A and B are shown apart, each in its own frame.
Chain A
Amino acid sequence: AQSVTQLGSHVSVSEGALVLLRCNYSSSVPPYLFWYVQYPNQGLQLLLKYTSAATLVKGINGFEAEFKKSETSFHLTKPSAHMSDAAEYFCAVSPSGNTPLVFGKGTRLSVIA
């Protein structure tokens, strides 16, 4: 069975600092991996997805993630945090692109001015 572990339920960074949100997965097959963002009282918005085409994936709002098979990781990064990045971030895995998503518990990102 697939599972996702997000290290750190809450991450706090200063505005302009590097954002690093960690995600490790377990999957018996090469997975599809996703990062979603959720703003208060809203649904989930897709930031980026890994579908085996390239290990470094660029997403919206300046975010990117690197798939590392040897480390079973798919960490999300952004070089410079903005106040508007404050939200909850979810990593998700799917054994194929069209099977139910298994989500991590989420990481709440706070950005300090």
Chain B
Amino acid sequence: KAGVTQTPRYLIKTRGQQVTLSCSPISGHRSVSWYQQTPGQGLQFLFEYFSETQRNKGNFPGRFSGRQFSNSRSEMNVSTLELGDSALYLCASTRLEEGGVGYTFGSGTRLTVV
């Protein structure tokens, strides 16, 4: 079956712009989480959505937001981009109803802010 699909794979944006990243989870997975990966801070949790509701939120500024659609696809948005937002953004999905069997990750979107 298809894995977690993230689009686009690569993005280059200018400081001050906004960006939207997309994530399609594995079929049947209703939980979608987002993580930011940078060389300095490592992997940090952004937020998690389940059934279109934000279930958990990490410690990121309000410029980072997300949403989930009825088909479980999720988007995250970053407004007023800063150079420090350059990172690999990873999406992960899981089937929460099974009590948690671990998260399956997508290949990520590499965002470069110039």
| A interface with B by C-beta (< 8 Å) | 32, 34, 36, 41-46, 49, 51, 90, 92, 94, 96-106
Contact = CB atoms under 8 A, between A and B. Distances in A.
B45 A102 contact: yes
B42 A105 contact: yes
B109 to A, nearest CB: 10
Contacts, number: 60
B33 to A, nearest CB: 6
B105 A36 contact: yes
Contacts of B107: 41-43
Interface stretch (B61-69, B72-80, B96-104): B96-104
A93 B31 CA distance: 18
A43 B90 contact: yes
Interface in B33-77: 33, 35, 42-45, 48, 56, 58
24 contacts: A32-B100, A42-B108, A43-B6, A43-B105, A43-B106, A43-B108, A44-B105, A45-B105, A46-B103, A90-B43, A92-B43, A94-B100, A96-B100, A97-B100, A99-B56, A100-B33, A100-B48, A100-B56, A100-B58, A101-B33, A101-B35, A101-B45, A101-B103, A103-B43
